[in-house]
Chains A and B, each alone.
Chain A
Amino acid sequence: DAGVIQSPRHEVTEMGQEVTLRCKPISGHNSLFWYRQTMMRGLELLIYFNNNVPIDDSGMPEDRFSAKMPNASFSTLKIQPSEPRDSAVYFCASSLALGQGHTVLHFGNGTRLTVT
């Protein structure tokens, strides 16, 4: 089991640039989550996919953020244009959701984004 794989681990970019974060969930999992972690706001859910379909994107900060899941083994989170306030650690998590509500989230090691 390779776990959830995120890339890159670190990203430094200038304000206004496009940033793409990538995630490969655990094989067989049907749910994927993108979270953002900051000192000020803690852990925030950005978007949730189930069977590759976005179910809840109410946490996406604004139109500059977009997420896709073209297939069961890959997802991207894009920020265009990036701003310094987007600096944070972005986590991807996956799970096998069977409707009971107590399934476990498996997190990647995150992407630390710094926008200067």
Chain B
Amino acid sequence: AQSVTQLGSHVSVSEGALVLLRCNYSSSVPPYLFWYVQYPNQGLQLLLKYTSAATLVKGINGFEAEFKKSETSFHLTKPSAHMSDAAEYFCAVSVSGGYQKVTFGTGTKLQVIP
């Protein structure tokens, strides 16, 4: 069975500072990895996904994530935080074949301080 662990349920950064949200995965087969973002009173929407085509994945709103097999990590970064980035971020994992089950992490709330 696959799983993801998000380190830190709350992260605070200053506007303009680097954003780093951590995610580690566990999977017995090559995984597909995702980052979703949830703004207040909305559903989740996809930021980016890793499908083994490239280890560095670029997403919307300037976010990117790097797949590191040796570290079983898929951390999300953005060079410069903007106030509009304040939201909750979810890492997720799935595997190929059969039932397409997506397992979500517990989420990290990002606060951006002006």
Q: Interface of A with B (CB < 8 Å)?
A: 4, 31, 33, 42-43, 45, 48, 50, 55-56, 91, 93, 95, 97, 99-110
Contacts and interface: CB of A to CB of B under 8 A. Distances in A.
B94 A102 contact: yes
Given A55-B99, A102-B51, A43 B104 contact: yes
B43 A110 contact: yes
Interface of B: 32, 34, 36, 41-46, 49, 51, 90, 94-97, 99-102, 104-107
Closest 8 CB pairs of A and B: A107-B43, A101-B96, A102-B32, A102-B51, A42-B106, A43-B104, A107-B44, A97-B100
B43 A109 contact: yes
Q: Which of A50, A103, A105, A110 has the most CB of B within 10 A?
A: A105
Nearest to A107: B43
A4 B107 contact: no
A31 B98 CA distance: 13
B43 A99 contact: no
B102 to A, nearest CB: 6
B101 A48 contact: yes
Contacts of B100: 31, 50, 95, 97, 99, 101, 103
A48 B45 contact: no
Contacts of B105: 42
Contacts of B107: 42-43
Given A4-B43, A107-B44, A107-B45, A99 B99 contact: no
Nearest to A4: B43
Contacts of A42: 104-107
